[in-house]
Amino acid sequence: MIYPVVEMRGDLVLVGAKSVPMGNAMAQFQMPVGDIQLRIDGNKAWTVAAINTPSLAPEGNSKEIGAQKVANSASPSPYLDPKAMAEMTQNMMSTYRSGMSPITATSGDTAKDILRQMATGRTILFRQVNGNAAGKTFEYSLETFNSAMAACAS
């Protein structure tokens, strides 16, 4: 099950979907969300790809360190550029991380456009999209959204 999420991370506004935590008090986990489509009322549907979700990890985290470590440990070869190896490793790690993330979100102008629609809308629909197959549709009322946003702003 997924639910809508609006978050502020510093100056970054995120709008998307998050999976519901599962498990028990000893071990909780969240399933990856993957790609989603969302629609507010009769407006056009937005597709948000997991791979485009902004990194939610703090700067200088282990992803950069790990990519550099792999590049540095590669045996010297006239056919292997360490910088290209580090970039390729970074891209692979980012792709893996986004595919396993319990949140799929967009930011920037797209997030702001979705927020504007949410502020005047009545219903938001979400569904997970896996290739050409669409999953179950989740519907949520936006009735309390404006009051919740006002509470966050104060």
pTM, 2 dp: 0.69
Lookup: tokens for 15: 């709008």
Averages of pLDDT over each 10 residues, the chain, 154 residues: 84 88 74 89 92 66 51 60 76 67 89 92 88 76 81 73
DSSP letter string, 70-105: HHHHSPPBTTB-HHHHHHHHHHHHHHHHHHT-SEEE
What's residue 132's pLDDT?
65
Q: 42: helix, coil or strand?
A: coil
What's residue 68's pLDDT?
52
The rounded distance, in Å, linking the Cα atoms of 107 and 113 is 10
Buried b (16+ CB within 10 A) or exposed e, 52-66: ebbeeeeeeeeeeee
Alpha helices, H only, 1-154: 62-73, 82-99, 108-120, 145-153
Contacts of 61-70 with CB under 8 Å at 24 or more apart are 63/90, 63/93, 63/94, 63/97, 64/90, 66/93, 67/93
